[in-house]
Amino acid sequence: MAHKKAGGSSRNGRDSAGRRLGVKKFGGENVLAGNIIVRQRGTKYYPGTGVGMGKDHTLFALTEGRVAFRDGKLGRKFVCVDLALRPVAAE
């Protein structure tokens, strides 16, 4: 009778990789059309002038210029791209 009792199974012990969400281009940074500005789940930030929103709520630049974060009504935060005075060089 020298044997071990069967060990129990664990229901924990797994985790998913991070989704790399967040602000990719900060206020004052220059962007080109198509650059991703914010990756998010839901609408923490809303698109303002010069910014589009993808089906996964990713905000991206529609024009080249400088990124600006602005507060709107109802506590909403908007991301805008202000037109640059001079063309933005590719970085």
For the chain, the domains span 22-83
**SS3 category, 73:** helix
User: What is the pLDDT, as a whole number, of residue 91?
Assistant: 57
Tens digits of residue pLDDT in 57-89: 999 999 999 999 999 999 999 999 999 776 666
Q: How far apart are alpha carbons 24 and 59 in whole angstroms?
A: 10
User: Given strand 59-61, what is the order of strands in its sheet?
Assistant: 22-23, 36-39, 59-61, 51-53
What is this structure's pTM? 0.81
User: What is the pLDDT, as a whole number, of residue 90?
Assistant: 58
Q: Which residues contact 58 (CB under 8 A, 6 or more apart)?
A: 36, 38, 39, 40
The CATH fold of domain 22-83: OB fold (Dihydrolipoamide Acetyltransferase, E2P) (2.40.50)
User: What is the pLDDT, as a whole number, of residue 5?
Assistant: 76
Q: How far apart are alpha carbons 30 and 54 in whole angstroms?
A: 20
What single-letter DSSP state applies at residue 17?
P
User: What is the pLDDT, as a whole number, of residue 84?
Assistant: 76
